[in-house]
Amino acid sequence: MVRAVLLGPPGSGKGTQAARVCKARGLLHLSTGDLLRAAVKDQTALGLKAKGFMDRGELVPDELVFALLRERLRSPASGAGFLLDGFPRNVSQAGTLDAELGARGIARVVHLKLDDEEIVRRLLGRGRPDDTEPVIRNRLKVYRAETSPLIAFYDRRGLLVTIEASGSVDEVAQRLDAALFGRQGGL
Ligand code: ADP
């Protein structure tokens, strides 16, 4: 069973790549960004609370995000395994995840590496409502301050594999598949 995390800056292609490998390998794709956007669209109580944080490019409070994730992590559909996309996003969320999973913890973390110039270029081309320049800048700042420490956090545990996120969607997909399932340390 695959229990993996995809880590990387906004615009690194986490969502696209996660959807693709999950479909190909029958994994449950757990995207906190998608779950939050669905809650905002449906105007649930949680979505209404989350919206302002998302519009400003800030992190949504941990308890709201985990409320969306918890049942899904426990759902039987995650039998073949799951790939987390956009979670954890800070060290506190990583601790919550450890506590939730217990002994059957995360076995692999794939870090999609991309330089800042390429990040901004991609996000400005994407045109999601939170993809305006000031909000992108803030998301990058939050990524550096809060999320990037997770790279060292998981590396110390021997779980991290870093892959290059530039190149075509197909090229990155091959790298991700190899990082998750390849012979060198496949799960
Ligand atoms: P990107 O990777 O391009 O930033 P996401 O779809 O992963 O896009 O996230 C969009 C927004 O949703 C984030 O800027 C943040 O406000 C919120 N969000 C997503 N995941 C989390 C999380 N784990 N913790 C807090 N906020 C989150």
- Could you read off the pLDDT of 118-154 as tens digits, one per residue? 998 999 998 888 999 999 999 999 999 999 999 999 9
Q: What is the pLDDT of residue 183?
A: 63
- pLDDT tens column, 99-119: 999 988 999 999 999 998 899
Compute the average pLDDT of residues 63-90.
90
- List the beta strands (DSSP E) in 8-80: 28-31
Rounded to 10°, the helix 45-56/32-41 angle is 120
CA of 183 to the centre of ligand 1 (A): 32
Stated pTM of the model: 0.93
Q: What is the pLDDT of residue 79?
A: 72
Pocket (CB within 6 angstroms of ligand 1): 10-11, 14, 32-33, 36, 53-54, 57-60, 65, 86-87, 89, 93, 139
Compute the average pLDDT of residues 4-31.
96
Q: What is the pLDDT of residue 75?
A: 80
Nearest ligand 1 atom to the CA of 142 is: 14
Q: The tokens 């809060």 sit on which residue?
A: 146
Query: Atom 12, ligand 1: which residue's CA is nearest?
Result: 33
| Tokens found for residue 17 | 């790549």
How is the beta sheet containing 81-85 ordered, strand by strand?
A: 28-31, 81-85, 2-7, 108-113, 160-164
